[in-house]
Amino acid sequence: MIKNISLKNKIIEYIYEAILNNEYKQNEQIKENFIAIKLEVSRAPIREALSELVSLGILEQVQNRGVFLKNISSSDILNTYESKGLIEGFLARSFASYANEKDISVLEEYLYLMCSKDNNAKEVAELGKKFHKYYLKYAKNTVLLDVLEKLNKKSLLLFSQNWSKLYTLEEIKNRHKKILDVLKSLDKENIENTIKDHYFETGSKIVLLR
């Protein structure tokens, strides 16, 4: 069982990276046989991985045809980012109760690295993910954290594919500095609202780009 879970996660990561690298296009079929040969794995964990990605809304099961990279609609984008903002904003309130000076220093370092001109889209998205995840370190609601992790995978794909059109590096720096400043204030309500608005704005901008 442990081996199957490990294989499934390996396959999910492979497909996820392939989408980030534009190896799959929207509405393109994800072929089990190709993945089986490429990764030298059996069909069973591939089907489990595809099923999980379908449940995340990244892939789509088409009856009698197979599994395809989903053509994500504007409502999908808005729902993803609005849900992410509401959940993450609420969970981030815990930072105000337990944060220390070291926590602030770590966030400042992530912000500095995120704004390097040498970063590509994937690196910016990965550093942003670490920045956001770090200030959730004190959150204890495991149900909401699990839902948020699923939303993160979908939203990261959307952001990575559009970030260069969405924000300049200076805008990314300013947006995350705004979050850092409000985290430093330890004002729970302000933290929640700022993070919620952060995601609402991004979702709306991605829709406008379409």
The whole domain housing 134 covers 74-209
pLDDT at res. 105: 97
Residues 64 and 79 in one domain: no
Mapping DSSP to helix (H, G, I), strand (E, B) and coil, where does residue 46 land? Answer: helix
Query: Both tokens of residue 170?
Result: 């200076």
Same domain flag for 125 and 204:
yes
* Nearest alpha-carbon partner for 169 in 90, 101, 116, 109: 116
Q: 198 and 119 in one domain?
A: yes
The answer to whether residues 33 and 128 belong to one domain is: no
Same domain, 100 and 136: yes
Which residue, chain included where needed, has tokens 């089907």?
47
DSSP codes, 140-162: --HHHHHHHHHHHHHHHHHHHHH
Tally of structural domains, the chain: 2
CATH number of the domain enclosing 14? 1.10.10.10
- In CATH, what number is assigned to the domain containing residue 150? 1.20.120.530
Tokens of 122: 């994937």
Q: Give the model's pLDDT for residue 159.
A: 73
Q: What is the pLDDT along the chain (210 residues), one digit of tens a residue?
A: 445 558 888 898 899 888 877 888 888 999 999 999 999 999 999 999 999 899 888 899 998 899 999 888 889 889 999 999 999 999 999 999 999 999 999 999 999 888 777 777 667 778 888 999 999 999 999 999 999 988 888 887 777 666 667 888 888 889 999 999 999 999 999 999 999 999 999 999 988 887
Query: Do 152 and 111 reside in the same domain of the chain?
Result: yes
Cα-based angle 10, 14, 17 (whole degrees, multiple of 5): 135
Report the alpha-carbon distance of residue 209 to residue 78 in Å, rounded.
Answer: 13
Whether 100 and 158 share a structural domain? yes
Q: How far apart are CA 203 and CA 190, in angstroms?
A: 20
CA atoms in the 13 A half-sphere facing the CB of 121: 16
Question: What is the C-alpha to C-alpha distance for residues 147 and 87, in angstroms, rounded to an integer?
Answer: 8
Q: Are residues 162 and 201 in the same domain?
A: yes
Structure tokens that stand for 187 in this block:
């004002």
Task: Write down the pLDDT at residue 1.
Answer: 47
Burial 19-49 (b: 16+ CB within 10 A, else e): bbeeebeeeeebebeebeeeeebeeebbebb
Judgement on whether residues 93 and 18 belong to the same structural domain of the protein: no
Q: In terms of Cα–Cα distance, which of 132, 92, 88 is closest to 110?
A: 132
